[in-house]
Amino acid sequence: AGVFTYDPGFTSTAACESAITFIDGAEGVLLHRGYPIDQLAAESHYLEVCYLLLYGELPSAEQLETFETTVTRHTMIHEQMHNFFRGFRRDAHPMATMVGVVGAMSAFYHDSTDINDPWQREVASFRLIAKMPTIAAMAYKYSIGQPFVYPRNDLDYAANFLNMCFSVPAEQYNPDPILARAMDRIFTLHADHEQNASTSTVRLASSSGANPFACIAAGIACLWGPAHGGANQACLEMLREIGTVDRIPEFIARAKDKNDPFRLMGFGHRVYKNFDPRAKVMKQSADEVLELLGIENNPTLQVAKELEKQALDDPYFAEKKLFPNVDFYSGIILEAMGFPTSMFTPIFALSRTVGWISQWKEQLSDPALKIGRPRQLYTGPTQRDYVPVAKR
Ligand code: CMC
């Protein structure tokens, strides 16, 4: 017995204190350690934002250089792990591979699993931020039957990722700096987002004292769902299914129909009841990339632009305060870069790793940390006596 607050979906329960990310959903504001996301996306870059999220302040030039060098030096994965990849079917979704491989890191890196040792926590955080792009790129290469590409220390974080995804032994891929910048911006825009489902999953897993690799694997698993990180893949598939501008009203009608489970993917957010500030930057980035690649007339983009317009003009979406979210435009950029839809959520996962790690570290340094243990409202039978099978 006991008195509980019943809050399914945690719409009104704060589960922790945090000094990392602030969101004002009504105003469409997102701040990391106080800095607005649009400024960070325009003027900073991903690894600097990683430092900010992890340590609370922007780094000095020297601190940034040390941080970048450290991350760069940890990008290779243990050679033995290549065999682990080879155990998967080639047609495995890269997210399935990532859940497995990241969880398996705890079997490879014994010197960074002791959560009570601050230095091991630090090493685990470098390892995860550094190796996640390598793992995501390897999952991709494996799925298309191409050889793995080792990381390169002379490239920056985003260019290195593009290289690992798109180079083949016969031909080196040299990403255009505008594309590398757009990739970096996608990483930056996904870096952290307060107590979303996957971050809360990481915190809950960690509250039991689980090792960091197990916790991040749990976060990746949660992110995969279409209501969360999987929305970017689902959104692009939806835009393709709509196909032509004239079919948009039909899909809007379906989204409004209570008897149809269809939702407009990339629309709506639990916290934002205004334009997602990340979507604004993403939209601008999409325009730049498509112009660079000379595909402004891409039919998917035409559908996206018109769908956005018609949905925003529709009273249903206005009343429910449903606006495009970050996933609405990211897929268009990723598709233009040459990624298949199955890589969209892995890219989200690698970007969000720093957010998960920052929150994991913050939680572990909280002296009031308790195991997360929600209660329930029991709705099953009252006590009754067991009946042996012969008498049932
Ligand atoms: N299309 C049509 N109707 C919608 C949509 C949508 N995309 N989203 C919400 N609604 C309606 C919903 O039917 C409900 O109507 P009613 O009050 O009449 O029952 C109302 O709006 C409120 O929706 P909710 O499901 O109670 O809101 P929530 O806060 O639980 O869900 C959400 C938030 C993001 C899961 C939801 O908006 C959704 O499913 N969106 C599509 C998937 C998506 O784009 N997800 C990415 C989120 S941003 C990045 C990330 O978190 O990974």
Q: Residue 81 is part of a domain; what is its CATH number?
A: 1.10.580.10
Same structural domain, 51 and 153 = yes
Same structural domain, 208 and 242 = no
Same structural domain, 183 and 289 = no
Residue 190 CB less than 6 A away from ligand 1: no
Instruction: Give 207's pLDDT tier (boundaries 50, 70, 90).
Output: very high
Ligand 1, atom 52, residue with closest C-alpha? 228
Q: Which atom of ligand 1 lies nearest, measured to the CA of 348?
A: 52
How many structural domains are present in the chain? Answer: 2
Considering the chain, what percentage of its residues have pLDDT values greater than 70? Answer: 99
Instruction: Give 321's pLDDT tier (boundaries 50, 70, 90).
Output: very high
Pairing relation of β-strands 35-36 and 29-32?
A: antiparallel
Same structural domain, 83 and 17 = yes
Same structural domain, 15 and 162 = yes
Same structural domain, 260 and 165 = no
> 227 CA to middle of ligand 1, Å?
8
Q: Which atom of ligand 1 lies nearest, measured to the CA of 223?
A: 52
Q: Which two tokens stand for residue 15?
A: 């589960």
Is 379 a domain residue? no
Convert the chain into a string of H (helix), E (strand) and C (coil): CCCCCCCHHHCCCCCCCCCCEEEECCCCEEEECCEEHHHHHHHCCHHHHHHHHHHCCCCCHHHHHHHHHHHHHCCCCCCCHHHHHHCCCCCCCHHHHHHHHHHHHHHCCHHHCCCCCHHHHHHHHHHHHHHHHHHHHHHHHHHCCCCCCCCCCCCCHHHHHHHHHHCECCECCCCCHHHHHHHHHHHHHCCCCCCCHHHHHHHHHHHCCCCHHHHHHHHHHHHCCCCCCCHHHHHHHHHHHHCCHHHHHHHHHHHHCCCCCCCCCCECCCCCCCCCHHHHHHHHHHHHHHHHCCCCCCHHHHHHHHHHHHHHCCHHHHHCCCCECCHHHHHHHHHHHCCCHHHHHHHHHHHHHHHHHHHHHHHHCCCCCCCCCCCCCCCCCCCCCCCCHHHC
Of 71-80, 215-224, 271-280, 296-305, the poorest mean pLDDT is in: 296-305
Same structural domain, 242 and 102 = no
pLDDT one-digit tens code per residue, 114-130:
999 999 999 999 999 99
Same structural domain, 328 and 360 = no
Same structural domain, 104 and 194 = yes
Residue 163 CB less than 6 A away from ligand 1: no
Ligand 1, atom 10, residue with closest C-alpha? 268
CATH code of the domain covering residue 295: 1.10.230.10
Is 344 a domain residue? no
The answer, yes or no, to whether residue 174 has pLDDT greater than 60, is: yes
Ligand 1, atom 34, residue with closest C-alpha? 269
Q: What is the mean pLDDT of residues 107-112?
A: 91
Ligand 1, atom 14, residue with closest C-alpha? 320
Q: What domain range is 154 assigned to?
A: 8-226+351-364
Residue 255 CB less than 6 A away from ligand 1: yes
> 270 CA to middle of ligand 1, Å?
7
Ligand 1, atom 37, residue with closest C-alpha? 268
Is 261 a domain residue? yes
Q: What is the mean pLDDT of residues 289-304?
A: 85
Instruction: Give 327's pLDDT tier (boundaries 50, 70, 90).
Output: confident
Q: What is the per-residue burial (b if ≥16 Cβ within 10 Å, else e) of 61-99? A: eeeeeebbeebbebbebeeebeebbeebeeebbbbbbbb
Q: What are phi and psi of 277, to 5 degrees?
A: -60, -25
pLDDT one-digit tens code per residue, 23-51:
999 999 999 999 999 999 999 999 999 99
Is 36 a domain residue? yes
ipTM of the complex: 0.95
Residue 268 CB less than 6 A away from ligand 1: yes
Residue 324 CB less than 6 A away from ligand 1: no
Is 250 a domain residue? yes
Same structural domain, 220 and 285 = no
Is 220 a domain residue? yes
How many C-beta atoms lie closer than 10 Å to residue 131's C-beta? 25
pLDDT for the residue 144? 94
Closest by Cα among 205, 236, 206 to 303: 236
Residue 129 CB less than 6 A away from ligand 1: no
How many C-beta atoms lie closer than 10 Å to residue 156's C-beta? 18
Q: What is the mean pLDDT of the chain?
A: 94
Cβ 369 vs Cβ 360: under 8 Å = no
Same structural domain, 105 and 202 = yes
Residue 264 CB less than 6 A away from ligand 1: yes
Residue 263 CB less than 6 A away from ligand 1: yes
Q: Which of 267, 271, 344, 345 to mutate to test the pocket of ligand 1 (most atoms within 8 A of CB)?
A: 267
The answer, yes or no, to whether residue 131 has pLDDT greater than 60, is: yes
Same structural domain, 287 and 151 = no
Is 370 a domain residue? no
Instruction: Give 1's pLDDT tier (boundaries 50, 70, 90).
Output: low
Q: What is the mean pLDDT of residues 338-346?
A: 95
Ligand 1, atom 11, residue with closest C-alpha? 320
Is 382 a domain residue? no
Residue 136 CB less than 6 A away from ligand 1: no
Ligand 1, atom 17, residue with closest C-alpha? 320
- List residues with catalytic annotation: 269, 327
Q: Which of 264, 265, 269 to mutate to test the pocket of ligand 1 (most atoms within 8 A of CB)?
A: 269
Instruction: Give 388's pLDDT tier (boundaries 50, 70, 90).
Output: very high
